[in-house]
């Protein structure tokens, strides 16, 4: 411990003794991490980014190597393990691939610099010297949260230039910014370039933008090209085909729909069917859908079965059913029943069940029950259960209970549960509870809960709570079951055992289980225990900080609440920062919200713009929303 403290002091000492150029490098490195770069910081990146923090003229980069050596030096005795910058080696240990800031110093600098804006030149250097997708996405989020839309635009353009736009929708996001800024022509240009490189998301956005501009023909042209593409990495041609078919229907393009349907476009076939039906051309609609269904399109097969049923085409439904078309099979059964031919429907269902249709037995049983032949339905379901149809088990149990054969249902479910049927086990537990055999239900659920079944565990806990089994709840809570812990706390509170409830939650909360932290903080707040909440908040408990802030607000101590949350936010507590923004919005504190925007706190930008508008600065607020902030101001 003594060595660690001494090392920390020397590390901070090295930072404080650093020259202005060395400190520029450290600030650039720390700020790069702060705005989203997580990969090793390369020398070109550090050198270029540090220029944003230089205070004197340096016409070239000759100053950089010596300063970098000093910041990474561990040669001197006092430098051991105290270098502010740590080199990161390549996997084969042949070269240094970059650097990172020592954790302790990074935490300290992040606290000190949380609301410090980065210079424009530093942002530009980070963007230009980063190729990693994750880093660029982190930079984009940071720039957007800070309302630095000019930098977000540069990041989108870099993603596009690197060929990463399809994976990130960079073209679409850049287009949205341009549209917001009333630069629609440039947005269309960006999207067209992305579409030409196979970006299906860009094709969809370009289509909608063209439609918004009233250029329907051009939108159809874009969709046509995208739909006919077969090399989209994300299968976007299907979405394009679907939207194209929809648009062609709206525009009355039946001839093109028919041509596309004949060429095997399932979406065109389905969308073509609607106008044909509306025109009364049912036979032609059936023909179109038949072609698509026969080519393997399940949606077309389902739609075809519906039309055949409406038209009463029993023979074709039967033929398709015999060819293993399940949509046709069950439309046929329903049609036969509607025509009063239940016996024929049952025989058809029986045949498909024998042919291996896993759902046929259940449907057959339903038909038999409708005919009042429940005993026969039970026989059918027994056969299905013995054949391994687990879904039939539940229906069989229900029928047995309906016929006052509950003991038989319990025996069936227990046997299936013992054989590993989870659904049977859960249904067995429910049935046992209905029969006031809760202790047996608990035993059934305990076995499954102990094997890791989440839902069985939840049902078990609910039963334990209902039976006031505090000891077992306590044991499960102690083993880390958050659900048991929550309900145990509630049960103890109902019994006015507040201190016991707090003690139950304290141990897991101290171990940093987030749900326990929140429950404990909430309980302490409701009990008005501000001092204990403060101790926990100062120890890093985010939930305690937020609930203490709420408690202070209730006591009209708003200033204290804001300072508490700001301190936690400065320490890197994102939840506290979020709550701070909510509180500042309630207080309409524009200056403090602007600081949170500079910190990149999520939703601070919207909150700040909202406050500006409420202060009568609507024009300024709208300009900032559309164009962002000037990085130089």
Listed by start position, the domains of the chain span 1-110
Query: Among the listed ranges 297-311, 548-562, 570-584, which one has the minimum average pLDDT value?
Result: 297-311
pLDDT range class, residue 340, cuts 50, 70, 90: confident
pLDDT at 236: 67
**Residue bearing the bigger pLDDT, 151 or 313:** 151
Going by C-alpha positions, the residue among 174, 199, 168, 167 that lies closest to residue 188 is 174
Query: Among the listed ranges 395-399, 484-488, 599-603, which one has the minimum average pLDDT value?
Result: 484-488
**β partners of residue 41:** 99
**β partners of residue 86:** 100
pLDDT range class, residue 231, cuts 50, 70, 90: low
pLDDT above 70 covers a percentage of the chain that reads 96
* Residue 387 clears pLDDT 80, i.e. is over it: no
pLDDT at 166: 66
Span 232-258, mean pLDDT? Answer: 76
Dihedral (Cα; 290, 292, 295, 297), 10-degree rounding: -110
Span 260-279, mean pLDDT? Answer: 78
Query: Among the listed ranges 108-112, 312-316, 481-485, 621-625, which one has the minimum average pLDDT value?
Result: 481-485
Measured CA to CA, the distance from residue 252 to residue 258 in angstroms comes to 11
pLDDT range class, residue 358, cuts 50, 70, 90: low
Q: Is 496 left (phi over 0), alpha (psi -120 to 50) or beta?
A: left
Contacts of 506 (CB under 8 A, 6+ apart): 520
pLDDT at 503: 86
pTM: 0.74
Q: Does residue 524 contact residue 547 with C-beta atoms inside 8 Å?
A: yes
The H or E element containing residue 473 is helix 470-478
* Residue 2 clears pLDDT 50, i.e. is over it: no
pLDDT range class, residue 528, cuts 50, 70, 90: very high
Q: Does residue 308 contact residue 317 with C-beta atoms inside 8 Å?
A: yes
Contacts of 59 (CB under 8 A, 6+ apart): none
Measured CA to CA, the distance from residue 218 to residue 352 in angstroms comes to 50
SS3 label, residue 468: coil
- Measured over the CA atoms of residue 202, residue 207, residue 208 and residue 213, the dihedral's sign is positive
In Å, what is the CA distance from 575 to each residue of 109, 112, 433, 554? Answer: 20, 18, 42, 20
SS3 label, residue 97: strand
* Residue 446 clears pLDDT 70, i.e. is over it: yes
**β partners of residue 35:** none
Instruction: Let me know if 544 is exposed, middle or buried by CB neighbors in 10 A (0-12, 13-18, 19+).
Output: buried
* Residue 267 clears pLDDT 60, i.e. is over it: yes
pLDDT at 1: 40
CATH of 1-110, one of 3.40.50, 1.10.150, 1.10.20, 1.10.10: 1.10.10
pLDDT at 572: 85
Q: Does residue 524 contact residue 532 with C-beta atoms inside 8 Å?
A: yes
In Å, what is the CA distance from 315 to each residue of 30, 309, 330? Answer: 75, 10, 14
pLDDT above 90 covers a percentage of the chain that reads 46
* Residue 354 clears pLDDT 90, i.e. is over it: no
**Residue bearing the bigger pLDDT, 338 or 15:** 15
Q: What is the DSSP string of 319-384?
A: HHHHTT-HHHHHHHHHHHHHTT-HHHHHHHHHHHHHTT-TTHHHHHHHHHHHTT-HHHHHHHHHHH
Measured CA to CA, the distance from residue 92 to residue 544 in angstroms comes to 46
**Residue bearing the bigger pLDDT, 495 or 155:** 155
Which tens digit of pLDDT belongs to each residue from 12-67? 999 999 999 999 999 999 999 999 999 999 999 999 999 999 999 999 999 999 99
**Residue bearing the bigger pLDDT, 270 or 14:** 14
In Å, what is the CA distance from 188 to each residue of 140, 210, 526, 594, 619? Answer: 21, 8, 55, 33, 27
pLDDT at 504: 82
Going by C-alpha positions, the residue among 230, 309, 298 that lies closest to residue 269 is 298
Query: Among the listed ranges 426-440, 468-482, 579-593, 608-622, which one has the minimum average pLDDT value?
Result: 468-482
**β partners of residue 96:** 89
Computed over every residue of the chain, the mean pLDDT equals: 87
**Residue bearing the bigger pLDDT, 633 or 210:** 210
Measured CA to CA, the distance from residue 387 to residue 603 in angstroms comes to 56
In Å, what is the CA distance from 547 to each residue of 230, 246, 576, 593, 623? Answer: 55, 51, 10, 21, 36
Instruction: Let me know if 236 is exposed, middle or buried by CB neighbors in 10 A (0-12, 13-18, 19+).
Output: buried
**Residue bearing the bigger pLDDT, 358 or 507:** 507
Query: Among the listed ranges 15-29, 118-132, 142-156, 490-504, which one has the minimum average pLDDT value?
Result: 490-504
Span 591-607, mean pLDDT? Answer: 95
* Residue 424 clears pLDDT 70, i.e. is over it: yes
Query: Which value, in Å, is the radius of gyration of the alpha carbons in the chain?
Result: 34
**Residue bearing the bigger pLDDT, 252 or 45:** 45
* Residue 238 clears pLDDT 90, i.e. is over it: no
**β partners of residue 99:** 41, 87
pLDDT at 480: 75
Which tens digit of pLDDT belongs to each residue from 138-187? 999 999 999 999 999 999 999 998 888 767 788 889 999 999 998 999 99
* Residue 76 clears pLDDT 70, i.e. is over it: no
Measured CA to CA, the distance from residue 337 to residue 322 in angstroms comes to 18
């Amino acid at each position: 411990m003594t060595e660690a403290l001494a090392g920390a002091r020397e590390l901070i000492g090295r930072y404080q003794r650093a020259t202005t150029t060395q400190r520029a490098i450290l600030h650039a490195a720390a700020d790069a991490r702060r705005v989203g770069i997580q990969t090793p910081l390369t020398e070109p990146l550090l050198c270029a980014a540090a220029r944003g923090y230089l205070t004197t003229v340096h016409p070239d980069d000759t100053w950089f190597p010596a300063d970098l050596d000093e910041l990474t030096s561990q040669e001197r005795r006092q430098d051991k393990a105290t270098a502010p910058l740590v080199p990161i080696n390549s996997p084969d240990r042949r070269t240094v691939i970059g650097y990172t800031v020592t954790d302790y110093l990074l935490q300290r600098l992040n606290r000190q610099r949380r609301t410090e804006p980065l210079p424009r030149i530093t942002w530009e250097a980070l963007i230009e010297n980063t190729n990693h997708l994750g880093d660029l996405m982190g930079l984009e989020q940071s720039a957007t949260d800070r309302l630095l839309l000019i930098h977000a635009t540069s990041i989108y353009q870099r993603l596009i230039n690197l060929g990463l736009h399809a994976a990130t929708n960079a073209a679409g996001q850049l287009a949205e910014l341009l549209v917001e800024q009333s630069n629609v022509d440039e947005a269309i240009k960006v999207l067209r370039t992305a579409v030409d490189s196979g970006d299906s998301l860009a094709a969809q956005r370009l289509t909608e933008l063209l439609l918004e501009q009233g250029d329907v023909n051009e939108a159809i042209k874009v969709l046509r090209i995208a739909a006919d593409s077969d090399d989209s990495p994300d299968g976007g041609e299907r979405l394009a085909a679907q939207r194209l078919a929809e648009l062609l229907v709206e525009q009355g393009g039946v001839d093109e729909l028919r041509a596309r349907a004949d060429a095997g476009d399932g979406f065109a076939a389905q969308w073509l069917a609607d106008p044909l039906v509306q025109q009364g051309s049912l036979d032609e609609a059936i023909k179109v859908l038949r072609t698509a269904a026969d080519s393997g399109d399940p949606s077309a097969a389902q739609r075809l079965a519906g039309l055949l049923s409406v038209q009463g085409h029993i023979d074709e439904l039967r033929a398709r059913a015999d060819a293993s078309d399940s949509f046709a099979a069950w439309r046929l059964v329903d049609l036969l029943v509607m025509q009063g031919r239940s016996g024929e429907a049952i025989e058809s269902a029986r045949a498909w069940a024998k042919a291996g249709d896993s759902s046929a037995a259940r449907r057959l049983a339903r038909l038999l029950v409708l005919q009042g032949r429940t005993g026969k339905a039970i026989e059918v379901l027994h056969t299905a259960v013995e054949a391994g149809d687990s879904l039939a088990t539940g229906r069989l149990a229900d029928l047995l209970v309906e016929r006052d054969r509950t003991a038989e249902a319990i025996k069936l479910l227990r046997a299936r549960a013992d054989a590993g049927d989870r659904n049977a086990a859960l249904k067995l537990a429910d049935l046992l509870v209905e029969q006031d055999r809760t202790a047996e239900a608990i035993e059934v659920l305990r076995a499954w809960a102990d094997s890791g079944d989440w839902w069985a565990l939840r049902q078990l806990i609910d039963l334990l709570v209902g039976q006031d089994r505090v000891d077992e709840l306590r044991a499960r809570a102690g083993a880390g079951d958050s659900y048991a812990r929550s309900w145990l706390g509630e049960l103890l509170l109902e019994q006015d055992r507040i201190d016991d409830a707090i003690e139950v939650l304290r141990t897991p909360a101290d171990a940093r289980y987030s749900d326990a932290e929140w429950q404990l903080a909430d309980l302490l707040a409701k009990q008005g225990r501000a001092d204990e909440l403060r101790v926990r908040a100062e120890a890093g408990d985010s939930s305690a900080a937020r609930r203490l802030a709420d408690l202070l607000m209730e006591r009209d101590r708003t200033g204290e609440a804001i300072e508490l949350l700001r301190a936690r936010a400065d320490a890197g507590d994102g939840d506290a920062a979020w709550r701070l923004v909510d509180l500042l919005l309630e207080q309409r504190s524009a200056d403090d919200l602007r600081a949170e925007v500079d910190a990149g706190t999520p939703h601070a930008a919207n909150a700040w713009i909202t406050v500006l508008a409420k202060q009568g600065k609507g024009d300024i607020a709208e300009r900032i929303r559309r164009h962002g902030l000037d990085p130089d101001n």
